[in-house]
Amino acid sequence: MEETVIHEENPHKSDPRDLVLTPEAQYYLNDGAGWAKFLGIMGFIGCGFILIIALSMGAILGMTARLSPNPAGIPSGLGGVFGFIYALLALLYFFPSLYIYKFGTGAKKGILMRESADITVAISKLKSFLKFWGVLMIIGLAFSVLGFLSMLTALSHLSH
C-alpha cells in the first residue's frame, strides 16, 4: 500500500497562476454587484406585478365578456388560460432575477469580507444568469426561424 504524502503549502506564498483582483477591479465588481442587486430586486417586483395580472386575468376577461355586445366573442375559459400563461411568465422571469440578485449580494459580501469563496459562488450565479438568458435567446431564435420558414411555406402554398 502506497503512502499518500500531503505537502503543506505556505499560505503567504502566492502561485503565479493565482488571480488577484486589483483595487480597481474590486471597485468595479462591487459597483456592478450593487446594480445587479438592484436589477434582481426590480425583477422580483416585476414578477409580483405579473402574478397580480395572472390572478386577476380571469376576472378581467370575465367582466369583459359580460359587458361585450357579442357574448360569443370571448370564450369563458380564456381568462384562466391567460392567467396560467402569465403565471408561467412570472416563473420564467423569477429565475434570472434570483441569479442576478444572488450574484450582487454574494459579490458585495465577498469583497467586503475579502472572501474568495463568496466571490466564487457569486460568479457562478452570474454564469447561471448568463446561461439562462443565452438558452432563452437560442430558443427564441429557433422559434423565429421556424416562424419565418412557416410563413414562407404558407406564402408559397398560397401563390400556387
Instruction: Name residue, grid cell 483582483.
Output: 21
Q: For position 53, what pLDDT does the model report?
A: 92
What is the rounded distance in angstroms from the CA atom of residue 64 to the CA atom of residue 78? 11
What does the pLDDT average to over 77-104? 92
Q: For position 4, what pLDDT does the model report?
A: 41
Question: Which one-letter DSSP state was computed for residue 73?
Answer: G
Q: For position 79, what pLDDT does the model report?
A: 79
Q: What percentage of the chain has pLDDT greater than the value 90?
A: 63
Q: For position 88, what pLDDT does the model report?
A: 95
Burial class (CB in 10 A: 0-12, 13-18, 19+), 82: middle
Mean residue pLDDT of the chain comes to 86
Q: For position 156, what pLDDT does the model report?
A: 87
- Would you say 99 and 125 are in contact if contact means Cβ atoms under 8 Å apart? yes
Residue spans of the domains in the chain: they are 24-154
Predicted confidence (pLDDT) per residue in 58-77, tens digit: 778 777 777 766 656 667 67
Place 8 in a pLDDT band, splitting at 50, 70 and 90. Answer: very low
pTM of the model: 0.77
